[in-house]
């Protein structure tokens, strides 16, 4: 195997999938994994076989790729431009497609495209529950947009979406009551206005196992949980042993005192910083005392002064990146270590589907 290479442990993947599926089933929540993490048809099929009701995607290109494995897709991302809306409307001729919107502008663009394609696109009103990125700002604004959607031909009002991305940290420190209250208030307004929200979709990986504390939710959309990463570990949401993906690297230089260089930099790991005090760019599995202190594009500099035994030139080591989603997106192909111990190449089918 040439390095750097993305290696995936199927046994860990299945355990992660199973755990989340069991939680969702226990609490009567539909599970709609966000496929942006794996971008893989094979992984999507594993999630669907374990009971996922469908998939979420950020970009239309991802949804187009995933449609090969899935009949029920949520594009958890506003689509406002004509080319994107046209592709969504086209996809909706064959599949159940929903889109989250936070403006009448987006809703109208989608509706126009759907009417032209002769299809109907389901819509969820995105409500900002605190992440301050997208989403309407109040229950009243959600009602106003819902009313607009309800009287617009081409779209079908299916419910509400939120993303509690601002809630991180350990489960017992997560304050989810403002999220719960905002959703409850929105539902009450809709109900008084004669509007139903069949779907209330929420749930990031850090909050996923606390979703039962938000009574309004009918569905959750965690993504990272399938693979996990050092940021998930740092947040207290899993252990290192639950990280299913590693980047296999070779030690290519030990010329500079106190460090070794591995052949994985920002083009192989991604350069998202860590959420921990350590601030490194990932964990070197075989050398937990080592610190991945600096990334160039193709060099990873590993401080080894804290290591009793040091990595040798030519040695293979494995890195768990801070953020697995952009890392996976750098690879056309991963290597899957199947449960039977065999290695198999696995395409990252939707890699680079940017629009």
Query: Does residue 350 touch a second copy according to CB under 8 A?
Result: no
Nearest to a second copy of 190, 281 (CB atom): 281
Q: Which stretch binds a second copy (CB under 8 A): 10-18, 100-108, 166-174, 184-192?
A: 100-108
Query: Does residue 311 touch a second copy according to CB under 8 A?
Result: no
Query: Does residue 149 touch a second copy according to CB under 8 A?
Result: no
Interface residue with a second copy, options 29, 50, 52, 79 (CB under 8 A): 79
Query: Does residue 330 touch a second copy according to CB under 8 A?
Result: yes
User: Two tokens at 335?
Assistant: 């290597």
Q: Return the residues of window 177-236 that contact a second copy according to CB under 8 A.
A: none
**Beta carbons within 8 Å of 104's beta carbon, 6+ residues apart:** 145, 148
Query: Does residue 10 touch a second copy according to CB under 8 A?
Result: no
Interface residue with a second copy, options 27, 93, 133, 338 (CB under 8 A): 133
**Beta carbons within 8 Å of 91's beta carbon, 6+ residues apart:** 60, 63, 64, 67, 73, 97
Q: Which stretch binds a second copy (CB under 8 A): 45-53, 65-73, 262-270, 283-291?
A: 262-270
CA 241 to chain centre: 20
**122 within 8 A of 158, measured Cβ to Cβ:** yes
Q: Which stretch binds a second copy (CB under 8 A): 2-10, 64-72, 111-119, 190-198?
A: 2-10
Interface residue with a second copy, options 270, 280, 311, 321 (CB under 8 A): 270
Around Cβ 287, how many Cβ atoms within 10 Å? 21
User: Two tokens at 161?
Assistant: 């979406």
Interface residue with a second copy, options 168, 174, 232, 250 (CB under 8 A): 250
Give the interface with a second copy as residue ranges (CB under 8 A). 2-5, 36, 58-59, 77-81, 83-84, 102-103, 105-106, 109, 126, 128, 132-137, 165, 250-257, 259, 261, 263, 266-268, 270-273, 294, 296-299, 301, 313-314, 325-326, 329-332, 352, 354-355
């Amino acid at each position: 195997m040439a390095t750097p290479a993305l290696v995936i442990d199927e046994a860990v993947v299945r355990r992660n999938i199973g755990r989340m599926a069991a939680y969702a089933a226990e609490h009567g929540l539909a599970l709609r994994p966000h496929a942006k993490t794996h971008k893989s048809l094979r992984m999507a099929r594993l999630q669907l076989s374990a009971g996922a009701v469908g998939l979420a995607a950020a970009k239309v290109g991802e949804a187009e790729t995933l449609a090969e494995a899935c009949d029920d897709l949520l594009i958890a991302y506003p689509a406002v431009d004509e080319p994107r809306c046209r592709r969504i409307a086209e996809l909706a001729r064959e599949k159940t497609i929903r889109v989250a919107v936070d403006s009448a502008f987006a809703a109208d663009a989608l509706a126009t495209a759907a009417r032209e394609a002769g299809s109907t696109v389901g819509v969820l009103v995105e409500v900002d529950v605190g992440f301050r990125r997208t989403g309407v700002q109040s229950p009243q604004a959600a009602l106003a947009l819902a009313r607009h959607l309800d009287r617009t031909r081409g779209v079908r009002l299916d419910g509400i979406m939120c993303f509690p991305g601002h809630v991180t940290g350990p489960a017992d420190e997560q304050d989810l009551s403002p999220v719960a209250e905002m959703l409850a208030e929105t539902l009450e307004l809709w109900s008084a206005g004669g509007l139903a929200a069949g779907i209330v979709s929420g749930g990031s990986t850090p909050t996923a196992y606390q979703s039962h504390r938000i009574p309004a939710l009918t569905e959750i959309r965690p993504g990272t949980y399938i693979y996990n990463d050092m940021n998930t570990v740092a947040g207290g949401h899993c252990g290192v042993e639950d990280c299913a993906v590693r980047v296999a690297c070779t030690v290519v230089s030990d010329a500079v005192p106190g460090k070794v260089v591995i052949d994985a930099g920002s083009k192989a790991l991604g350069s998202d910083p860590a959420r921990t005090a350590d601030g490194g760019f990932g964990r070197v599995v075989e050398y937990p005392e080592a610190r991945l202190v600096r990334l160039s594009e193709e060099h990873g500099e590993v401080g080894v002064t804290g290591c009793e035994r040091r990595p040798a030139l030519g040695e293979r080591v494995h890195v768990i990146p801070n953020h697995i989603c952009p890392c996976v997106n750098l690879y056309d192909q991963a290597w899957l270590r199947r449960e039977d111990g065999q290695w198999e190449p696995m395409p990252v089918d939707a890699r680079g589907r940017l629009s």
